[in-house]
Amino acid sequence: FMAMGQMISAIAHQWRQPLNALSILLANLRFEYEAVCQDTAALDVAHRQAFDILRRMSATIDDFRNFFKPGREPEPFRVVAAVSDALLLIDASLAQHGIQVRFTARHDPVVHGPRGEFAQVILNLLGNAKDAILARKPARGRIDIRVMERRGRAVVAVADNGGGIPPEILDRIFDPYYTTKGSQDGTGLGLYMSRIIVAEHMGGALTVANRTEGARFVAALPLSPANARFGDVP
């Protein structure tokens, strides 16, 4: 994860320059246009849209840098916020493929651990759900995310309608280097590392089961004592 954070920082540095150059170019174009045209209504709309795109791109860079920030210490955090961090990075890709996301939070429990690593677990589960849906090609791809408290634990469930996992490999998908994808598409470490993070770094459990339409992954985590002072937790 540290190597990924360093790579994202390097990419962000390279992106900043062309984004700044585009901002200057837009400002210059507006200046030249206003010098020769009285009616700038159409330009104003295009100018605002272009700057909104640039601002979103710049914000996305910050999102990625914060997401992969190395060396974050365990801390109490809200589960809904961590899930939202992951969803923010993949929702555009899901929308591009017409995959609907339903995010339901019956509670907003507080857990203790490395928030960035947990968000990467959720991102990995969402990415796997997307891949399963694209492989099966249902009429309408759907991912359901649910957050709740159950029996003194925080529970995050990620379910899809991608057809499920073949029963003969269901008990092997958390094994290191086991992948159902081609060698160019996966390393087989995603689910293995996700289980390590949930189990060893957070004292929880990550399980999977097939349902009628697809697979359902469930992360169950012990609640943080900070639940008692919920308002103080970011």
What's at 224, amino acid-wise?
A: S
Q: In angstroms, how far apart are the furthest CA atoms of the chain?
A: 71
How buried is 85 (Cβ within 10 angstroms: 0-12 exposed, 13-18 middle, 19+ buried)? buried
206 bridge partner residues: 219
* Cα first-last separation, the chain: 22
Q: Given the DSSP bridges, would you call strands 142-150 and 215-222 parallel, antiparallel or unpaired?
A: unpaired
Listed in sequence order, the residues at least 6 apart from 79 whose beta carbon sits closer than 8 Å to its beta carbon are 108, 109, 110, 111, 147, 154, 156, 221
What pairs with residue 30 in β-bridges? none
Rounded to 5°, the CA angle 190-194-198 comes to: 175
Helix (H, G, I), strand (E, B) or coil at 188: coil
Mean pLDDT, to the nearest integer, of 105-133?
92
pTM of the shown model: 0.69
Tell me what pLDDT residue 113 has. 93
pLDDT at 19 over 90: no
* Mean pLDDT of all residues in 129-148: 94
The predicted-structure confidence for 155-193, as pLDDT tens digits, reads as follows 999 999 999 998 888 888 888 765 655 433 444 457 888
Q: What percentage of the chain carries pLDDT values higher than 70?
A: 81
- All residues at 6 or more sequence positions from 80 whose CB lies less than 8 Å from its CB, including other chains: 105, 108, 147
Read off the pLDDT band of 228 (50, 70, 90): low
CB atoms within 10 A of CB 132: 21
**In whole angstroms, what is the distance from residue 111 CA to residue 79 CA?**
7
Q: Which of 128-132, 166-170, 198-202 has the lowest mean pLDDT?
A: 166-170
pLDDT tens for each residue of 58-117: 776 766 666 556 556 788 999 999 999 899 888 888 998 999 999 999 899 999 998 888
